[in-house]
Amino acid sequence: MTEPQGVQAFHQLELDAGRFLIQRCTACAKHVYFPRESCPHCGSGALEWTAPKGTGTVYAVTTVRRKPAEGGDLNVSLIDLDEGVRLMSRVENLAPGTVRIGQRVQARVQLKEGRGLVLFDAIEGAAA
């Protein structure tokens, strides 16, 4: 069996190793996330991988209601990284109903069954 290839496979391999990377276009200098083969801003194929600061702001949030036997409630948040990209994730260090728009957060990679996932923790006392 061959190794998965392409930018999304590379991205997942990096997450599985505990590293969160995003792309940056060397032609227009804008950041890109989710990984792509070409820049959605200018069309260039000159994308490089870079480690973001990992800090961002909650743009939108909702609480998914689940039975306690199914893991209980969880939040689903859209996070704007300081680099200018938006991604969907969860804020993990707060009760789901207490995550608020405008909250400052910090990214981290969590490994579950060998697979990396980008999650966020609220930065105490920080607001947008």
Query: What pTM was estimated for this model as a whole?
Result: 0.87
Angle at Cα 68 formed by Cα 66 and Cα 72, nearest 5°?
Answer: 50
Amino acid, res. 106: Q
What are the residue ranges spanned by the domains of the chain? 1-51, 53-128
Cα–Cα distance, 82 to 86 (Å, whole number): 9
What is the tens place of the pLDDT at every residue in 47-92?
Answer: 999 999 999 999 999 999 999 998 888 899 999 999 999 999 999 9
* pLDDT-derived band at 127, boundaries 50, 70, 90: very low
1, pLDDT greater than 60 = no
- Give me the DSSP letters along 89-117: E-B-SS-GGG--TTEEEEEEEEEETTEEE
C-alpha separations of 73 from 35, 52, 64, 85, 109 in Å: 29, 29, 6, 26, 21
Cα–Cα distance, 11 to 28 (Å, whole number): 21
* pLDDT-derived band at 128, boundaries 50, 70, 90: very low
Question: Higher confidence at residue 125 or residue 51?
Answer: 51
Predicted local confidence at residue 2, as pLDDT: 52
What is the tens place of the pLDDT at every residue in 94-124?
Answer: 998 899 999 999 999 999 999 999 999 999 7
Question: Higher confidence at residue 32 or residue 4?
Answer: 32
Architecture of domain 53-128: Beta Barrel (2.40)
37, pLDDT greater than 50 = yes
